[in-house]
Amino acid sequence: MTTLLHLNVSPRGERSHSRQAGSVVRERLAAHRGPLTVIERDLGAEPLPPIDAAFTDANLAVAAGGDEQAPALMLSERLIAELESADMVLITTPIHNFTVPATLKTWIDVVVRPGRTFRSTPQGKQGLLRDRPVLAVVACGGAFHDGPGSQQDFFTPYLKYVLGTIGLSRVEVLRMENMNRGSDPVARSFDHLRAWCEAAVPAMVD
């Protein structure tokens, strides 16, 4: 059975377009791969605590060869274990101010750790986790294009780069744009999502 780690990021509950999109993707994954074992990590409903000095000191100690089981690292180890046990990852999230929301950034900061999920080499950082597909569905209030009034997308290049740092190189991102511009753009975005699922899901998870 396939294990899916699902990171839900929006704090808006059932009103969230990205949460609704997550249900669509999960249905397509189950149709393609059979029943899923889902690890739910709801960062919107249960945000992670901010990084503090105890975590930072313990994290640096591990990078220098210290104990991975320090109390300040217990939450990090649990989140990394969820990631390690998953065959694939689904991230459903809004964009906040052109990039990742603070709750998702905290998750990244807690799992991207020197000496634990990546190591530094003369050739640069090398991921220590097994690669697996990551599907990210991103709800955007506005539009991203080359014309006037376009927004810049700092989310996609950042997410691909930072996950690549820990070994996750198979990252696909779908932006659902103009989600605050009325029902017609929302309907078009969900049509686009379903078409994307038909193409991206088999290509990513086979």
Q: What is the Cα–Cα distance from 114 to 53, expressed in whole angstroms?
A: 16
Number of domains in the chain: 1
pLDDT at residue 206 in the model: 65
Tell whether residue 18 is among the known ligand binding residues: yes
C-alpha torsion sign, points 162, 166, 169, 175: negative
**Could you tell me if residue 119 is left (phi over 0), alpha (psi between -120 and 50 degrees) or otherwise beta?**
beta
pLDDT at residue 199 in the model: 85
Tell whether residue 16 is among the known ligand binding residues: yes
Tell whether residue 23 is among the known ligand binding residues: no
> What CATH number corresponds to the domain at position 145?
3.40.50.360
pLDDT at residue 51 in the model: 95
| pLDDT, block means (10 residues), the chain with 206 residues | 94 86 93 92 96 94 75 95 97 94 97 94 94 94 72 92 98 86 85 88 74
HSE-up of residue 82 (Cα within 13 Å, Cβ side): 20
pLDDT at residue 111 in the model: 98
Rounded to two decimals, the pTM is 0.93
Query: Residue 149's domain spans which residues?
Result: 2-205
pLDDT at residue 69 in the model: 73
Residue-wise pLDDT tens digits, 19-57? 999 999 999 999 988 899 999 999 999 999 999 999 999
